[in-house]
A = this chain, B = another copy of it.
């Protein structure tokens, strides 16, 4: 992989929490890494006859690779993580229903007295070169080829206030945000709460529908190419994303309208910072130009991303242009590496 550093965890090195763990390695700004992540079932569901609830035992679900100590990151900084590439590490992905999990079933939270839905597994064909994901019905001769849209469901750092959180949930520290916006080409901004930030990532999806309605996407082990940097002394209320074309704020909460509110409130604040508009002028701009994208409606905190296209922010420099710099750095490494 040329100048790209590589990390592949052993099974014992996988983490099931954000916070509460010693780092498995160190990332330095300027480096480009390719990092392997297991799928959410820890690779244990390889065929349609293996039910996830039989082979995955709580809390050993949704493992993340890491945590990584980021050189120079201190509490009160922002960690910038640029994702240059995401490529499924296998030629197949897996999805399923899972007892009491998903948007169209009762859950431990939206508790009803009805019996659970049948647990069923689907194995998808993945073709990373053609960027195709192939669905095959279990009880019919029905196949659909869908565009691959690789993403990471879970990226986060150690939480504030000495908390340790399961990798199933998401909050201000990031975590299981499960948004398709977290794809190659974007930079993720997370608030640093502890020395070294302690970054973890996992839960690769070859693709997912908006809201992850069944609670499980097309899950896959993933090789992710990324590079990090630190923005000193900069606060963040909730995770943010930046792409070539847009800025985005991530809202994580229940009910879903509160995820929407958090995301849009933060986006209005961000527009004020970038433009100097007053609060109502910024609100109005977001209200007419804003795009909202539903991440998940199944995890402990739901996710909504509020997005503003960059043409609404002419000549505005986001965090000193750090996204562009990281993108170019990683792009050069990828070019050399291949």
Contacts and interface: CB of A to CB of B under 8 A. Distances in A.
Contacts of A112: 104-106, 112, 114, 117, 261, 265
A239 interface: no
B111 A262 contact: yes
Contact of A140 (B97, B111, B276, B287): B276
A224 interface: no
Contacts of A286: 209, 213
Interface residues of A, number: 93
Interface stretch (A12-20, A25-33, A225-233): A12-20
A282 to B, nearest CB: 9
Nearest to A97: B280
Contact of A104 (B139, B216, B268): B268
Interface stretch (A34-42, A155-163, A328-336): A155-163
Contacts of A161: 16-17, 58-59, 166
Interface of A: 16-17, 19-20, 58-59, 95, 97, 102-106, 108-118, 120, 122, 124, 133, 135, 137-140, 142, 144, 146, 160-166, 207-214, 216-218, 237, 253-258, 260-262, 264-266, 268, 275-281, 283-294, 297, 302, 304, 311-312, 314
